[in-house]
Amino acid sequence: METHSVAAMPRITSWGAIMSGVITVLAISVLLSILGTALGFSIVEPYSDRPVSGVGTAVTIWSFVSILFSLACGGYVAGRLAGAAGISHGFLVWATTLILAIVISSFIIGGALRAAGGIIGSVAAATGGAASGMASSLADHKDGLPGMINDSLEQMGLDTGLPADQTPKNAAAALQNSNIEALKPDYLSKQLSAAKADVHHAVSAVMRNPDSADRIMGNLSDRLKQRVDGIADDIKRGDVHQALAQNSAMSAEEVNQATDSVMRYKQQTTAVVKERLEDLAQAVDKTRGEMEQWKDEARQQADAAAKTIAKSAVWSFIALLIGAVVGAYCGLWGTRTANRYAF
């Protein structure tokens, strides 16, 4: 029987070398994080109107450099200790470090950014200026958009009281019995009360369905303007004269005098009611404008936040990808130096 001898491939993966490289990465990252904190603190100018200007860019660049330098050192150490397969060992140092960093919430690799940012935030809060301006936003309204509308409309107010009615009782009774709603003594008061109810209903509708706030406020504005226009055409002298003549026992002269008295009061109170409703309609339109501004600013803030997150994610990806290449190359470099020089 013929026998063949096969040489087994030796295992060249050294997890001891890999873990040594990972420890090197973490240690250097901590060291650079502390240095980055000092640099970030030194950049802050508390007496400036913009105390944190340029700090974000500086911290981002420092974090980028720290990641690459730490991975380069870790890859080199792993490759030198392994003495073989430097690229593989350097890459595994990168992969193991990345997984470990995720497990501990990326504290080590991202330490420079968070530590410096935390100190910068504290200084900015103490000095005010730009940081306090950035902290304030339209989101301060406890209920957001509905809360803003509710606060605005509640501040408008609507006085439903009217000047004292000097119309004789028999004339007032005659008008109350009229079939024309606009001639009744409490007609204008009811218009104010109805307008106030319209406002409350609109606020309730916005609370229930904030997405339809613009449509609801537009309908409220149109409704108030319709009330103003309707009041202007509702009260006519001929109608008042006819109602008094048909629903009272007054003489023709008394009817004429009562008609003049009623018309003077109606004209006075109509002007008051129209002015109040017009002011309320203008306030509603103003609130609509503020609402649109609020929504635009909210969209801009959301867009800026999304772009910032996307930009940070892209740069993080680039840094980690380059880190993998740097770690692998430095692992190869470490292997070559191990083969050339003995410990």
pLDDT of residue 72: 94
Q: What is the mean pLDDT of residues 308-324?
A: 84
List the domain range (segments joined by +) for residue 295: 140-300
- 314 in a structural domain: no
Q: What is the pLDDT of residue 239?
A: 73
What is the reported pLDDT for 155?
55
Average pLDDT, the chain: 73
Query: Do both 107 and 122 map to the same domain?
Result: yes
Confidence grade of residue 230 (pLDDT, cut at 50, 70, 90):
confident
Spatial CB neighbours of 325, under 8 Å, sequence gap ≥ 6: none
pLDDT of residue 296: 85
Q: Are 147 and 265 contained in the same domain? A: yes
Is pLDDT at 23 greater than 90 in this prediction?
yes
Question: Do residue 170 and residue 33 come from a single domain?
Answer: no
Q: Of 127, 114, 138, which Cα lies nearest the Cα of 53?
A: 127
Statement to judge: residues 132 and 156 lie in one domain: no
In a domain, 242, yes or no: yes
Is 28 within the bounds of a domain? yes
Domain stops at, among 120, 136, 152: 136
In the three-class reduction of DSSP (H, G, I as helix; E, B as strand; rest coil), residue 37 is classed as: helix
Vertex 335 angle, CA 334 and 338, to 5°: 85
185 versus 335: the higher-pLDDT residue is 335
* 64 closest CA partner among 6, 112, 104: 112
Neighbours of 199 (CB within 10 A): 20
Reading the block at residue 327, the tokens are: 């770690």
- Does residue 248 surpass a pLDDT of 50? yes
Question: In terms of domains, do 106 and 121 share one?
Answer: yes
Q: Does 49 score more than 90 pLDDT? A: no
Report pLDDT for 28: 92
* pLDDT higher than threshold 70 for residue 240: yes
By the 8 A CB rule, do 320 and 97 touch? Answer: no
User: Over the stretch 137-169, which tens digit does the pLDDT of each residue have?
Assistant: 333 444 555 555 556 555 555 666 666 666 667
Confidence of residue 191 (pLDDT cuts 50, 70, 90): confident
295: CB partners within 8 A, 6+ apart: 145
Instruction: List Cα–Cα distances, 295 to 144, 148, 201, 300, in angstroms.
Output: 10, 11, 22, 9
- Which residues, in sequence order, are CB contacts of 130 under 8 Å at separation 6+? 49, 50, 51, 52, 53, 124
- 148, two tokens: 């803003």
Q: What pLDDT sits at residue 20?
A: 93
Judged by DSSP in three states, 316 sits in helix
